[in-house]
Amino acid sequence: MGNALRAHLSVRYIQRFIGTPYRWGGDDPMAGFDCSGLAIEMLRSAGIFGNQYDNTAQGLAHFFNSKRTDKIKKGCLIFYGRGKITHVGIAVNSERMVEAGGAGGNCKTVADAIQYNAYVRERSINSRNDFVMAVDPF
């Protein structure tokens, strides 16, 4: 299977989780995702990581730093932060991404996710003003 097809299938898979509650430290479709948990779920679905891999947005940025790209396309990881990487999203195309976000460390339960309107969602890559880099993990 080619890299473009793997990226396409992985993004389609991760889009199924839109509406899933955000949960700080979350890496489970039933209990909720945080941003890095969602990205790792996509990478697992593509066979890039095994089930035991876990990391933060900063750790993922460091891991994939050699795969930086100026051309954002489906499946790219989009990193954000000031001073250090604090968030990662997954490119649906050159303009949109899927991300888990909303409340950071304040969001540990479904009730918190509801209170803070924190979910897996699709939105513009430019919706944040702290873009750092994009990488193509495929």
pLDDT tens string, the chain, 138 residues long: the values are: 789 999 999 999 999 999 999 999 999 888 899 999 999 999 999 999 988 888 999 999 999 999 999 999 999 999 999 999 999 999 999 999 999 998 878 888 889 999 999 999 999 999 999 999 999 999
Q: What is d(CA 25, CA 74) in angstroms, rounded to the nearest whole number? A: 25
Q: CATH number of the domain at 3-135, out of 2.40.50.140, 3.40.190.10, 3.30.1330.120, 3.90.1720.10?
A: 3.90.1720.10
Structural contact between residues 49 and 43, judged by C-beta atoms closer than 8 angstroms: yes
pTM recorded for the entire structure: 0.94
Domain ranges of the chain: 3-135
